[in-house]
């Protein structure tokens, strides 16, 4: 009997591992196909061989500028921002055991946005200053939320409620800034707030790329502890997890990558909200959804950008498309949680 039970466990584990690997391979293939499509499509459609020649550094008439200076930075921005939003959103949702606990809902991206809009409207600062202010705005917001939610002990419900309150307050600040802003500054601010890959430049993407490459391994290394945190505070402590230290490391790493992503592309709506649940459904139980969520984030951003650019007569920023996709899911989730009594 014991041997049969062990065999069943091993068979189940092998199936889950195969599913996990297969899902990741499929997600990578879809992401690469979307990357290739973004480089090919535009006012002029270039063949794959011309794209490869440009990427290898050769001079190709027309394609060198269109692909190397416009489409490639746009694609890279979408890849790293989508990955950052997907990973960070999954960390918050898993750590706080609530699908609503993502950086968009609890005010982190609103902090970045408020700081950026203040610099655009009031200071009329350069794009570099706006990006830096966006990063510090997100960091300051999460520190405030975390400190206010601690009390005598850490409370998930308290953190979410405080985050939602701060998000509402910062949204009001953004609305006020737009109301008092000069007419010629408002389009810039609105374009930034909508979440867009327009105007991406390679020289501005290096901070995001480096941050994602540094902190993603930190988050992955803490993945097992993150799974234990999902069991609850008491269970994690009884299993020897230093919950405060682990939570702080995860929050810092996640906030840094999402703050850089927001500073680069603006707050692309609902990617952090959607990527984690989709990835968990795809990979199933038993394996960390962190990397799959990042890949889903890439796919959502690139696919939405292609839809916004080519599916309609007018061109729309990527954030408009992701907002249309994500809003119905948010309503569905709220209705489902209300029926279960979780709200």
Domain boundaries, the chain: 2-340
Tell me the Ramachandran region of residue 8: left when phi exceeds 0, alpha when psi lies from -120 to 50, beta otherwise: alpha
Q: Say what the pLDDT of residue 98 is.
A: 73
Contact present, 247 and 154 (Cβ < 8 Å): yes
Contact present, 291 and 220 (Cβ < 8 Å): yes
Q: Say how far apart CA 140 and CA 336 lie, in whole Å.
A: 33
Q: Say what the pLDDT of residue 8 is.
A: 61
Q: Say how far apart CA 258 and CA 137 lie, in whole Å.
A: 12
Q: Say how far apart CA 266 and CA 35 lie, in whole Å.
A: 20
Q: Say how far apart CA 291 and CA 219 lie, in whole Å.
A: 10
∠ CA 217-218-221 to the nearest 5 degrees? 80
3-class DSSP state of 221: helix
Going residue by residue through the chain, which has 343 residues, state the pLDDT in tens, using 9 for 90 and above: 556 656 665 666 777 788 888 999 999 999 999 999 999 888 888 888 888 888 887 887 877 888 888 889 999 999 999 999 999 989 888 887 777 767 777 777 888 888 888 888 888 777 778 878 888 888 888 888 878 877 666 666 777 788 888 888 888 988 888 888 777 777 777 777 888 888 788 888 888 999 999 999 999 888 777 767 666 666 666 666 666 777 778 888 888 898 888 888 888 878 888 888 888 888 877 778 899 999 999 999 999 999 988 888 888 888 888 888 887 877 777 677 666 655 5
Q: Say how far apart CA 61 and CA 58 lie, in whole Å.
A: 10
Measure Cα distances from 219 to 82, 105, 231 in Å. 16, 21, 18
Q: Say what the pLDDT of residue 35 is.
A: 93
Q: Say what the pLDDT of residue 151 is.
A: 64
Q: Say what the pLDDT of residue 243 is.
A: 67
> Which of 256, 92, 247 lies closest to 154 in space, CA to CA?
247
This prediction has a pTM of 0.87
Tokens at 188, concatenated:
């810039």
Q: Say how far apart CA 223 and CA 246 lie, in whole Å.
A: 10
Q: Say how far apart CA 112 and CA 142 lie, in whole Å.
A: 10
Q: Say how far apart CA 212 and CA 235 lie, in whole Å.
A: 30
The helices-and-strands tally (H runs, E runs) of the chain is: 15, 0
Which CATH number is 2-340's, of 1.10.287.3510, 1.10.3470.10, 3.30.160.60, 1.20.1260.120? Answer: 1.10.3470.10
Tokens at 200, concatenated:
């991406």
Per-position DSSP letters for 203-215, written without gaps between them? HHHHHHHHHHHHH
Residues 308-340 as b/e (b if ≥16 CB within 10 A, e otherwise) read bbeeeeeebbbbbbbbebbeeebeebeeeeeee
Q: Say how far apart CA 263 and CA 135 lie, in whole Å.
A: 6
């Amino acid at each position: 009997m014991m041997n049969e039970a062990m065999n069943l466990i091993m068979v189940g584990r092998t199936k889950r591992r195969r599913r996990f690997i297969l899902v990741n391979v499929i997600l990578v293939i879809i992401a690469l196909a979307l990357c290739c499509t973004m480089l090919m499509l535009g006012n002029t459609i270039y063949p794959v061989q011309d794209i490869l020649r440009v990427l290898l550094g050769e001079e190709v008439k027309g394609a060198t500028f269109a692909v190397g200076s416009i489409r490639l930075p746009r694609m890279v921005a979408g890849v790293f921002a989508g990955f950052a939003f997907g990973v960070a959103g999954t960390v918050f949702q898993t750590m706080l055991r609530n699908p609503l606990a993502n950086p968009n809902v609890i005010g982190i991206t609103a902090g970045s946005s408020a700081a950026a809009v203040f610099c655009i409207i009031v200071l009329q600062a350069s794009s570099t200053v706006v990006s830096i202010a966006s990063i510090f705005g997100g960091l300051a917001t999460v520190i405030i939320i975390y400190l206010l939610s601690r009390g005598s002990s850490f409370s998930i419900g308290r953190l979410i409620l405080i985050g939602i309150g701060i998000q509402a307050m910062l949204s009001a600040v953004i609305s006020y800034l737009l109301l008092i802003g000069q007419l010629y500054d408002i389009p810039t601010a609105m374009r930034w707030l909508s979440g867009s890959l327009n105007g991406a430049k390679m020289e501005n993407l290096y901070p995001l790329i480096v941050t994602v490459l540094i902190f993603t391994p930190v988050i992955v290394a803490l993945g097992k502890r993150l799974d234990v945190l999902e069991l609850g505070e008491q269970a994690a402590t009884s299993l020897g997890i230093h919950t405060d230290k682990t939570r702080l490391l995860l929050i810092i790493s996640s906030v840094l990558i999402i703050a850089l992503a927001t500073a680069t592309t603006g707050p692309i709506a609902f990617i952090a909200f959607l990527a984690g649940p989709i990835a968990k459904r795809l990979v199933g139980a038993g394996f960390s959804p962190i990397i799959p969520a990042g890949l889903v984030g890439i796919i959502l951003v690139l696919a939405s950008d292609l839809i916004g650019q080519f599916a309609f007569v007018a061109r729309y920023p990527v954030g408009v498309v992701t907002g249309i996709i994500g809003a119905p899911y948010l309503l569905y989730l709220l209705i489902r949680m209300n029926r279960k009594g979780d709200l």
